[in-house]
Structure 1
Amino acid sequence: MNRVTASWVRVRLRTAPAAAAALALLVALTACLAAVFPRTLDRYQDAGLVHAVERAHPDRTSVWLYAPRLDDGFGQRQREDALRPRALERQFAGVLRAVQRPLTADRAQSSYGVQNSDPLAVPDAFIPRPSGLPARLRLVAQNGLGGHSSVRTGRLPRVNGTVTAATAEVEAAVTAETARSLHLRVGSVVHVPGAARRPLAVRVTGVLDPREPGGAYWASEPVLRTPSLVRVPSADPQYYWLGALLLPPEAAPALLGTPGHPFRYWQVAPGTRALHAHELGGLKSAVAALESGPGLGQVRTVTDQTAQADTDLDDVLNDYGRLAAGIGPLVSVAAFGTATVAAVVLLMAGGLAADRRRAELALLRARGASLRAMGGRLLAETAVVAVPAGALGLAAALLAVPAERRVPAVLAAVAVTALACLALPLRAMVTHRAVRVHGPREDAVSRRPSRRRTVAELTLLVIAAGAVEALRRRGVSGTSGPSGASGSGGASAGASSGVSGDQLVSLAPVLVGVIAALVLVRLYPLPLRRLAGPARRLRGAVGHLSLARAGRTSVSAVLPLLALLTALTTAAFGGSVLAGIADARDRAALTAVGADARVEGSATLPAGLPDRVRRVPGVGHVDEMSVDYQAKAGANLTPVSLAGVAPADYASLAGRTGLGPFPAERLRRPSAAHHSPLPALASPSVARTYGTQPFPVRLGDGAGVTVRIAVVRDRTPAVVGDDFLVVDRAGLDRTAARPTTLLVTGAHPDARALRAAAGKAASVQLRSEERARYVDSPLQTGAGRVYAAAVAASAGYAVLALLLALLRAAPERTALLARLRTMGLTRAQGRRLLILESLPQAVLAAAGGAPTGWATIRLLSPGIDLTTVALPPAAAYSGAGVLRTDPLSLALPAAAVLFLAVGVAAGQAWWTGRKGSVRELRAGDSG
């Protein structure tokens, strides 16, 4: 920066400190928000990945590497040495080295050891035999037993001397659950069959409590901690106990003396602290390399050439990738919308600054200043303010939201700062490329748009139409999203830049808003011209003057309208997404429960229970019904759920809940013919199977009834599922018609009182509690929060855009009021003048924003599925997350624009009325 430019910057900062401070605040806030966004994405996506891995059982996420059996070519001594802890520990170190980053091993939960692949039947009579079959036991010699357990009774097992395949007795420990189920205690001796030798005696020396029962050390092989009853495949169910005896690692060679085929294993538990969503592709590659790639080759080099790998961690990562790929496009729509509004506001701030200084810059050009020199001075002037402000916003974002990566946040803040620095000089250079002292007045009513503007608008129209059509064709849903590598790419891209999927598609709502703004700007002069004639015939001068002032607005003022419409469209879209998520969860909870509460017993409910439930606070209606989940339909005895209901009450309930409403008379049993088939309401799958012909249904108690399908509905309150029938209770026998279920509707039924009324006779399920369970993953929670933040940020920038537009003309309006007051204008007339002058663009933005938001949602709703964001996979059903217009999201932002415009104009008129006319006239003349 040369001396002349430095002097220029110092003078400008001294003469306009308020403008510099406002620019710094705007840049700092926008840079902070821009930097926070990718860091927030990183945090909730990382949390979602960790949640997915931790929620999956360790037997799925652990990587098992094992050598099926020892080489028969080995001598007995070599076979025994291969099972000793020293060899296994050395091999385990090599296995850990084969794990490629970004996958890391949790060394504390990883393990290695020896166990027999075939559980051995033990003949000891004191071990329970549920079906007369002897228990089967695994002998497991795993490292770190003392560090992962605490001794409840006895002591840890140990060895005396050197254990070989011929050793007659070894020590072992069992967990407390194994001891309780198998009737083992300290001192018990279990005799394990031997191979060409006497049975191996295993003496129990300790009963242990796992320190982390859910950790991978214990849970990767659940039988180590908890024995299980195993069913033998046969016509008559037969069961035997399967458990584990925990040997010291030095006793592993004793397994060679048993027929259980011992094998070595190395279990690698993934470290969740090092999991990051942006590395999902690398994580998949690392798992694949360890399963069947170079990593497995390294493992075989250090362990055994027959070593194999087994894990479901890749499936867990793929599931997360599909979820991230489904949520990513929705998040990117919010990101693009808010970023566009912020960028428009920054450009508008630079444009308004250039308009305010038009006379000053025109004078510089008239005195010989070149465009390059003028642009350089303006760039230095804004950079001195914007660069420190951007750095401050970035620092605030880095401190406020901790995350691993900084590069995306830095790039976002740099982009905001660069845009803020370039907005003023570029606008000034374009405006003053030709030297003129007095520019022509650019009235919005009289000036015709240029050909360049027409071409640009048509180009944007084509791009927007293509983006909308692409989104409608492709669809955005969890089921239709990419999988595999695509899913990881989506998550990685989303984590790095907030963009997942096609960027053009994500920009579709913004482009629709921009096109609508350009169309409205084209139409803006028409109503002003139509109203100018009637305004001349009004008695007062305020109406005519306000219309004349609105019509003489500079064409550069269309930029605030672009910002307002883009913000309103983004806010409406985001608000509808949030409302759609809430609605999807409400509908899913209602479908799962059937009403506001469900009281259901395993058998017939007590006679007085319905009356007790009716007296519970908040209960409005109680509908009794009998539900048989053991019914079987047709000659093939297809399982169905059959509900017996009172048709009139049930039809009213279905109408109130919206779950498959139907006319009550369609379900009512014919009174004339008691032996005729019962009319039934059926699910589509049952209707496809049996049509409209009568067919028999066998009830759970052995009774039978003949039904004929009269109504088909996808869902019904009484039962949940794909195969159901609903009939008139009056057509069932007395036993089958007894109520087993109560469906309760009302305003917030008291959960505690409802459970107290039901007692132990029935279970209580509340719709509100069911709904609270539907936030399944931090990924879904984070996406919802991002959308809420996008709506708030868009609304804030819309307010800021309107304030900038109104305050831009504040000095001119103040001078105008001062002149008119000298001509006899009253304060009330001045207030009406300012309000009427500011209303046309505010009304244009409000009246255009609501229809634009509505049209955007209607256009894009076929391609937007909110199910992935709203519901866990287990609760999702077709049509649960359809995007619908939310009236409040459309009306509130538009109304806020009107109220703000009127409020600012009224405030300016009030403030001007407090000052003297002479001072304002001087300010106006100088401005």
Structure 2
Amino acid sequence: MNRVTAPWVRTRLRAAPSAAVALAVLVALTACLAAAFPRALDRYTDAGLRRAVERASTGERSVRVDADPVLGGSVAEAEDSVRPESLADAYRSVLGSVERPLVVDERQSSYGVRVTDSLPAPEKWLPRPDGLPAEMVLAAQEGLADHARPTSGRLPRVAGGRTDFTTADVEAAVTEETARALHIEVGSVLHLPAQRALTVHVTGIVTPERPDSAYWSVDSVLRTPSLRRTPAPPGAPSPTYWVGGLLLAPEAGPALLGTAQVGRYWHLATDTGSVRSRDLDGLGSAVASLESGPGLERLRTAIDPMAEVTTGLDDVFTAYGRLRGDIGPLVVVAASGAGTVAAVVLLMAGGLAAGRRRTELALLRARGASVRGLTGRLLAETAVVAVPAGALGFGAALLALPGARLWPALWAAAAVTAVACLALPLRAAAAHRTVRVHGGRRDVASARASRRRTVAELTVVVLALGAVETLRRRGATEGAGDLVALAPVLVGVIAALVLVRLYPLPLRALARPARRLRGAVGHLALARAGRTSASAVLPLLALLTAFTVAAFGGSVLSGVADARDRAALLAVGADARVEADDALPSGLSDRLRGASGAREVTEVGIDYQAGTPNGRQSLPVAGVDPDAYAALAARTGLGAFPGGRLTRPDGAEGGSEDAVLPALASPAVAERFGDEPFGMRLADGSVATLRIVLVREDTPAVYGDDFLVVDRAGLSAGAAPPNVLLLSGDDLDGGALRRAVDDAGTVHLRAEERGTYVDSPLQTGAERIYTAAVAAGAGYAALALLLSLAGTAAERAALLARLRTMGLTRAQGRRLLVLESLPQALPAALGGILTGWAAVRLLAPGVDLTTIALSTTASPVGRAELRADPWSLAVPAVAVLVLAVGVAALQAWWSGRRGAVAELRAGDAR
């Protein structure tokens, strides 16, 4: 048997090399995409976690272990506990208590001993901003020579290499920033009158090698002095004083014991390059173990029973896990849809090959070939092509996306290869399980579904409906399970099954009227459409699934963009905003009107400190030109209103307290003041009497829940001078605007504000995967349509050739093929639009786009909901119609060029 298989495979590959090459390209491309998905997922989730850790402060992303010196024993024991040897032994114990996958970056970690409170330095030459003496933090930190280089002087040393409790003179170094701010020089001497006076000689000024590293940033006062304020009662002055750091030699730790409260510390910097999103649970467990678990017990046993561990990593990991949990299911929905369409295309490729070789395989079965033997030969034939192609696609994915896990990508590529290998053998085995000399024609218009098919379709429908209902109730981001991730796909499956069942009905209904047509083209096209194979459910399934995924994915991307645009518009109020604390220059508005892209400039005067005369309530009051501001509100969609409703009444010029100004208010302010007149004291001391006549949720000038908008002409001249300019325009140049404004105010662009909402690779990665999934689904859907047309291309070409011998013109041939394709393309296009719209409508209550849009659940625009995007519905449908009609017209043109005799011979050969 084995000696026969190899010649069979070689013969078949040589007989149809183009089909083998096409299968290899399809498998390689699909395997590459399948392997790329988990690797891309790993890369952007890992990048998101690293970004979250890096953006946290140094103290939050480090683990700090603190312990007092060994007390309760002899002085020698206390001194030994703060010597470098003892601290190094404890450091190794601390490292051993850290559980993987949490990894410590030892190059940035530090340990040592320091005074817990800063000590006052009475030297008069130290700067005293408010008359208070500067204070110093003394630290004997290990590794100073490895993390700093002397710029003048030398590093501190200890005479004799050893200090003790009685040592009163020590050497220290300071950083350049400390020396510059506190006027310290090499040779300076500081006398610190603590519990036991300590004299510090400054022997060197150093420059940190990596100032932003954890070594220098966990206790930043050792690198950069800070100007602090003394506590004071509310309203009382709070004088300031300087606090700087003195870097002692590591051996000088015992000298600090007699000065003040001393503490040992070990700062463990997290290796951000080693954190992986897939290890998030393990990272959280490792941090929990150090804070209050076995790790803490080991530390206390090895170092001190009262040792404490503090870190902010648990909060960082929790926030990241919440963000990943909200975004992940949406990505799985897109990936499952694209994967389903790709799988359908692979099955169609196998079905097309089985249909093309139907006569050959039927002849082999008639001559005694067993189903098992036939299946084995076909499997060997496809495996010879598919396995190397799958390996090639897998290798391409590895090269394109390095630095991710291997096994998920390998399993994905192997699954694609297995489907490609089994599609043809299983399809052939199902079609030729019994020996048939002639298989009867099964037309769509006359075929009746079997009971097994009916039961299978009902089962799929029930599962799909259950998934959709679960998603609506629990939401896509609440872990509703794998079935929910397939909900959009199952909606497409339902539509495909229903459409296939309904497809024969219009054909039967049109058959009788078509007989009365005078021309033969329409009647013949309808008859041809009714004789399409009943197995057309597979390409229809691919098309509708792709439509559903495209509609869902396009709606997700559109919803994300709309949410960001809306949030940026609320924050800025227009396309650009120029704001100053005081009044803006009078000519600035005219200069900005001439800026590139600017169309309108609206002046607003906002008094942020306006309040009621009794001083109990305060809120922003915006003075505007009613007509110009109403036009701006209408353009932006932020609380549009008729400008005439805000126009001051006659006699209310210059801030007359007797006249009542109409006001626009937020709902909270309207509920607070009602519709009766009330007074507001403005910045210049004048009082304006207002009455709320309009209530709006939002307004361009003020962002928040509390605001009032009035006619500026009804206020006093100094009450609300223009301090805000709201610009409308396309493609505003931020640099040009800032040059025009100069130092008069601050410029905020809506486009720049929108960019601040994308602050995690999780968001950008999810959007890219969504875009790629939609594009891949669309591409495979087009391929499915082409495969379905290719399956009957030879038959159509032969039909045209025969009809041309009977007088059919080329124009009539084109119309025939186009009309024949429309009964399948039109239902697919219309069904795709309806299916996509229904899927979005059904799944929208369970999908919240707030996190993926704004990286937070606290959205300024409320819940970002999923809405049907018209372009995502219309473009795929139009593309299907254009593709189907274009292929039919192209085939008719090509057949006309070849000639009737060549087509008839080709058809007979096939």
Same fold (TM over 0.5): yes
Map of 1:213 onto structure 2:
211
2:245 is the counterpart of 1:247: no
2:16 is the counterpart of 1:16: yes
Alignment partners' CA distance in 2, 1:629 and 1:208 = 47
Could you give the per-residue CA deviations for residues 168-220 of structure 1, whole angstroms, max 9, x where no partner exists?
Answer: 2111122222223323222222222232x3x1011222222222222111111
**Aligned-pair CA distance for 1:633:** 4.8
Map of 1:300 onto structure 2:
300
Map of 1:593 onto structure 2:
572
**Aligned-pair CA distance for 1:339:** 0.5
Map of 1:570 onto structure 2:
549
Map of 1:167 onto structure 2:
167
- Do 1:635 and 1:696's aligned partners in 2 also have CA atoms closer than 8 Å? no
Could you give the per-residue CA deviations for residues 356-410 of structure 1, whole angstroms, max 9, x where no partner exists?
Answer: 2222222333333332222222222222221111111111111111023100000
Seen in structure 2, the aligned counterparts of structure 1 residues 24 and 234 have a Cα distance that, compared at 3 Å, is same
- Do 1:588 and 1:880's aligned partners in 2 also have CA atoms closer than 8 Å? no
- Do 2:567 and 2:861's aligned partners in 1 also have CA atoms closer than 8 Å? no
- Do 2:471 and 2:480's aligned partners in 1 also have CA atoms closer than 8 Å? no
Seen in structure 2, the aligned counterparts of structure 1 residues 869 and 395 have a Cα distance that, compared at 3 Å, is same
Secondary structure in structure 2 of the residue aligned to 1:856: helix
User: Which amino acid is the alignment partner of residue 230 of structure 2?
Assistant: V
Alignment partners' CA distance in 1, 2:675 and 2:220 = 51
Alignment partners' CA distance in 2, 1:377 and 1:268 = 62
Alignment partners' CA distance in 2, 1:837 and 1:721 = 60
2:152 is the counterpart of 1:129: no
Alignment partners' CA distance in 2, 1:726 and 1:875 = 26
Question: 1:647-726 maps to which residues of 2 (within 5 A)?
Answer: 647-671=626-650, 675-726=658-709
Secondary structure in structure 1 of the residue aligned to 2:59: helix
Alignment partners' CA distance in 2, 1:202 and 1:688 = 65
- Do 1:359 and 1:437's aligned partners in 2 also have CA atoms closer than 8 Å? no
Larger deviation, residues 811-820 vs 455-464: 455-464
Alignment partners' CA distance in 2, 1:878 and 1:501 = 26
Map of 1:497 onto structure 2:
none
Map of 1:584 onto structure 2:
563
Map of 1:840 onto structure 2:
823
Runs of 4+ in 1 over 6 A off after TM superposition: none
Larger deviation, residues 205-214 vs 58-67: 205-214
Map of 1:914 onto structure 2:
897
Q: 2:536 aligns with which of 539, 557, 567?
A: 557
Alignment partners' CA distance in 1, 2:92 and 2:617 = 56
Seen in structure 2, the aligned counterparts of structure 1 residues 153 and 690 have a Cα distance that, compared at 3 Å, is farther
- Do 1:587 and 1:880's aligned partners in 2 also have CA atoms closer than 8 Å? no
User: Which amino acid is the alignment partner of residue 684 of structure 1?
Assistant: P
Map of 2:141 onto structure 1:
142
**Aligned-pair CA distance for 1:635:** 4.8
Could you give the per-residue CA deviations for residues 758-805 of structure 1, whole angstroms, max 9, x where no partner exists?
Answer: 221122111122223332111111111101111110111011101101
User: Which amino acid is the alignment partner of residue 763 of structure 1?
Assistant: T
**Aligned-pair CA distance for 1:639:** 4.2
Larger deviation, residues 394-403 vs 461-470: 461-470
Map of 1:271 onto structure 2:
271
**Aligned-pair CA distance for 1:693:** 4.3
Alignment partners' CA distance in 1, 2:450 and 2:659 = 79
Map of 1:485 onto structure 2:
none
Alignment partners' CA distance in 2, 1:887 and 1:340 = 24
Alignment partners' CA distance in 2, 1:702 and 1:232 = 33
Alignment partners' CA distance in 2, 1:617 and 1:351 = 59
Larger deviation, residues 404-413 vs 698-707: 698-707
Question: 1:178-577 maps to which residues of 2 (within 5 A)?
Answer: 178-195=178-195, 197=196, 199-235=197-233, 236=236, 237-259=238-260, 261-476=261-476, 502-577=481-556
Larger deviation, residues 44-53 vs 361-370: 361-370
Alignment partners' CA distance in 2, 1:705 and 1:179 = 55
User: Which amino acid is the alignment partner of residue 451 of structure 2?
Assistant: R
Alignment partners' CA distance in 1, 2:145 and 2:677 = 68
**Aligned-pair CA distance for 1:529:** 2.2
Could you give the per-residue CA deviations for residues 60-114 of structure 1, whole angstroms, max 9, x where no partner exists?
Answer: 11000111x2233221122112111111112112211221111101111001000
Alignment partners' CA distance in 2, 1:883 and 1:729 = 40
User: Which amino acid is the alignment partner of residue 119 of structure 2?
Assistant: L
In structure 2, runs of 5+ residues without a counterpart are none
Map of 1:40 onto structure 2:
40
Seen in structure 2, the aligned counterparts of structure 1 residues 398 and 103 have a Cα distance that, compared at 3 Å, is same
Seen in structure 2, the aligned counterparts of structure 1 residues 874 and 346 have a Cα distance that, compared at 3 Å, is closer
Larger deviation, residues 700-709 vs 623-632: 700-709
2:715 is the counterpart of 1:732: yes
Secondary structure in structure 1 of the residue aligned to 2:720: coil
Alignment partners' CA distance in 2, 1:676 and 1:355 = 88
Secondary structure in structure 2 of the residue aligned to 1:790: helix
Alignment partners' CA distance in 2, 1:222 and 1:924 = 83
**Aligned-pair CA distance for 1:751:** 2.8
Alignment partners' CA distance in 2, 1:875 and 1:753 = 33
- Do 2:109 and 2:214's aligned partners in 1 also have CA atoms closer than 8 Å? yes
Secondary structure in structure 2 of the residue aligned to 1:744: strand
- Do 1:864 and 1:882's aligned partners in 2 also have CA atoms closer than 8 Å? yes
Aligned length: 902
Seen in structure 2, the aligned counterparts of structure 1 residues 400 and 632 have a Cα distance that, compared at 3 Å, is same
Alignment partners' CA distance in 2, 1:700 and 1:475 = 49
- Do 2:622 and 2:720's aligned partners in 1 also have CA atoms closer than 8 Å? no
**Aligned-pair CA distance for 1:869:** 1.6
Could you give the per-residue CA deviations for residues 810-833 of structure 1, whole angstroms, max 9, x where no partner exists?
Answer: 111111111112111122211221
Map of 1:828 onto structure 2:
811
Larger deviation, residues 681-690 vs 106-115: 681-690
Seen in structure 2, the aligned counterparts of structure 1 residues 245 and 785 have a Cα distance that, compared at 3 Å, is same
**Aligned-pair CA distance for 1:533:** 2.8
Map of 2:621 onto structure 1:
642
Alignment partners' CA distance in 1, 2:405 and 2:178 = 46
- Do 2:850 and 2:857's aligned partners in 1 also have CA atoms closer than 8 Å? no
- Do 2:476 and 2:484's aligned partners in 1 also have CA atoms closer than 8 Å? no
User: Which amino acid is the alignment partner of residue 746 of structure 1?
Assistant: G
Identity %: 64
Secondary structure in structure 2 of the residue aligned to 1:420: helix
Could you give the per-residue CA deviations for residues 223-263 of structure 1, whole angstroms, max 9, x where no partner exists?
Answer: 2222223233322123332222111111111111112x111
- Do 1:353 and 1:424's aligned partners in 2 also have CA atoms closer than 8 Å? yes
Q: Calculate the TM-score normalised by the size of structure 2.
A: 0.96
Larger deviation, residues 679-688 vs 745-754: 679-688
Alignment partners' CA distance in 2, 1:509 and 1:32 = 24
Larger deviation, residues 37-46 vs 679-688: 679-688
- Do 1:12 and 1:381's aligned partners in 2 also have CA atoms closer than 8 Å? yes
Alignment partners' CA distance in 1, 2:432 and 2:131 = 99
Secondary structure in structure 2 of the residue aligned to 1:131: coil
Seen in structure 2, the aligned counterparts of structure 1 residues 713 and 225 have a Cα distance that, compared at 3 Å, is farther
Seen in structure 2, the aligned counterparts of structure 1 residues 14 and 887 have a Cα distance that, compared at 3 Å, is same
- Do 1:328 and 1:501's aligned partners in 2 also have CA atoms closer than 8 Å? no
Map of 1:484 onto structure 2:
none
**Aligned-pair CA distance for 1:476:** 4.0
- Do 2:225 and 2:245's aligned partners in 1 also have CA atoms closer than 8 Å? yes
- Do 1:634 and 1:695's aligned partners in 2 also have CA atoms closer than 8 Å? no
- Do 2:323 and 2:856's aligned partners in 1 also have CA atoms closer than 8 Å? no
Secondary structure in structure 2 of the residue aligned to 1:134: coil
Q: 1:615 aligns with which of 588, 594, 597?
A: 594
